[in-house]
Amino acid sequence: MEGTRVQILSEIYAWIKDLTGPQIFWLAGMAGTGKSAIAWTICATADKDLEIVFGGSFFCSRSTGLSAQRDVRCVIPTLAQLMARQSDVFARALDAELKVDPEVLHQQVDVQVKKLLYKPLLALRDSQIPIVFVIDALDECSGQLTGSEALDNAETHRIVSDMLEALVAFSRSDDRLPVKFLVTSRPETHIRDTHVSDIAFSKILRLHTVDKEQINADIRRYVSEKLFATSTLRPLFTETDVNTLVVVSDGLFIVAATALKYALGSGTDLAVARFKSLLASTQDKLSVRATEPLDRMYAIIVEDAANMGHADTDSLKSLLCIIASLLAARMTLSVSALAELLDILSGQLRASMTRLHAVFHVPDDNDDTSLRPIHASFGDYLLGRAPSHLRISTSLGHEALARGCLRVMDTGLHFNVSRSRSSFEPTSSVKPNGIALSLEYACLQWIYHIAAFLVAVQSESNIDRSLRSHIRSWFDRKPRQQSEFDRLVSRIVRPRLLFWLEVMSLLDQVHRAAAMLMFAAATVRFRPMWVFVNAKRSA
């Protein structure tokens, strides 16, 4: 919002234009303090400023459904590509580096920083115009199950640390380049332990140290704008309501935004009642810890969505199972696709998700593939900090989606799934309407969810078994043992292997099929190689 964060934005902007100061600015803060909003504003402003070259940005995110936005290995190549679009001089220098070492994209991140950024930028060393790069939410990079290129969280954290150290080395080189790096993140250990957190090498602003009155003034401006936005709302709220929400927010912008979306999202008639009940529920629960208002807010929203106190425990279990599945999804889904994977009606799923609109983006169209959590901190809360009756385990969502993928493949894979006119003609490059998003997701992700479930269930010491039984009841009405995935894969995938390959061909993903099969063979008792052996003998 215009007129907010003025002092912080001014400080960052002055740093960008000061070519004699530190080349790295670390903006640190916990979830919900507005780091990404600040980073986005800097990008938008720098892009329009003729006295700044906006080199590029990379916004890491666990909530978009795009695995690349969680993969730290994509950061430096992306920034190099974006900078090449801004400067022909840089593009030619980068091209020369790639001709010398075309394999640099597969090398260590410190080598990438040197060859994809530092060396090409030497061609611009005499420029007096600052070049700024923005890397947002580095803490949201996480390990991904991607077959032979799998990264666990420990490896991801190591790469993040190596990249930051490489940027520090960049800034300490003898060649003083007109380059600035704005990096934002939570103050996680693997980031704090690098030289980026050393004031000798970086300019540092920790948002929790910003004057509380300044933050509250910005939040008050935002709340007032929303509560008094229309002539209909204006008579319903008072300055006392504004001040109370500012206190409840306790310095977290996301608390104010979530509260207003929750209160105003159901229409004017319910706005006052929801607003008052929300404040009454949170007002006497506040703590000096900044996470508690956010956590309490999430608890209220989930309990309200489950209609606790007026429904049986199965209502809450069903809701948590849906949420767990969405948090575990490896790409964004539609309402209809998730409903198909979970074997429930789209209307039933929409009814549950609509009551979570404050924390999930729920598209109006059932086929719109943008169903996702709005903020990663909601998942962090349910997976780690929530009370026992609301907490979910990592394995729950992966088990639900693994079973859903296998069930959809069981019913959706069949002879001539591509609807080809003849087996003598090449498979069409156009995906037929019969390949629903649920089947597409199942074919691309089934083994990864099985593997993630098996890994998670081994590391979880206190799993809510009743919730897991609830998930299983959606599919077969009886509890199964973990080893059941061996039998499910053999019963469903093996006899439909060629049909699955046909779908992978339609999706232009055949190159992933072999890696997925090898991953499956190492994960469950599944040996699909007989297909290829028999095919060779027949030939």
Instruction: Compute, in degrees rounded to 10, the torsion defined by CA atoms 114, 115, 120, 121.
Output: -20
Pairing relation of β-strands 360-361 and 24-28?
Answer: unpaired
pLDDT recorded at residue 334 = 95
pLDDT recorded at residue 461 = 53
pLDDT of 290 strictly over 50: no
Rounded to whole angstroms, how far apart are CA atoms 6 and 97? Answer: 41
CATH 3.40.50.2000 fits 6-209, yes or no: no
The two tokens of residue 490 are 């053999």
Average of per-residue pLDDT values in the chain:
85
Contact predicate 326/360, CB 8 Å: yes
Flag the least confident range among 92-96, 460-464, 535-539: 535-539
The two tokens of residue 25 are 């600015």
Contact predicate 255/249, CB 8 Å: yes
Backbone angles phi, psi at 45, to 5 degrees: -75, -45
Q: How far is the CA of 127 from the CAs of 117, 124, 143, 180, in angstroms?
A: 15, 5, 38, 13
The two tokens of residue 295 are 């956590």
Q: How far is the CA of 277 from the CAs of 248, 261, 262, 297, in angstroms?
A: 13, 14, 11, 12
Rounded to whole angstroms, how far apart are CA atoms 260 and 237? Answer: 12
pLDDT of 45 strictly over 90: yes
Q: Which residues pair with 23 in a beta bridge?
A: none
Contact predicate 232/271, CB 8 Å: no
pTM metric for this prediction: 0.73
Give the start-to-end residue ranges of the domains of the chain. 6-209, 212-305, 378-538
First to last CA, the chain: 67
With tokens 């980068």, the residue in question is 94
Flag the least confident range among 15-19, 158-162, 371-375: 371-375
The two tokens of residue 324 are 């767990």
DSSP 8-state symbol, 172: T
Cα angle value 374/379/383 (rounded, 5°) = 170
| Other beta carbons within 10 Å of 143 | 16
With tokens 């795009």, the residue in question is 66
Rounded to whole angstroms, how far apart are CA atoms 61 and 456? Answer: 22
Q: Which tens digit of pLDDT belongs to each residue from 323-344?
A: 999 999 999 999 999 999 999 9
Q: Which tens digit of pLDDT belongs to each residue from 406-439?
A: 999 999 999 888 877 766 766 665 556 668 999 9
Rounded to whole angstroms, how far apart are CA atoms 53 and 31? Answer: 29
Rounded to whole angstroms, how far apart are CA atoms 258 and 374? Answer: 10
Flag the least confident range among 115-119, 248-252, 289-293: 289-293
Q: Which tens digit of pLDDT belongs to each residue from 217-233?
A: 999 999 999 999 888 99
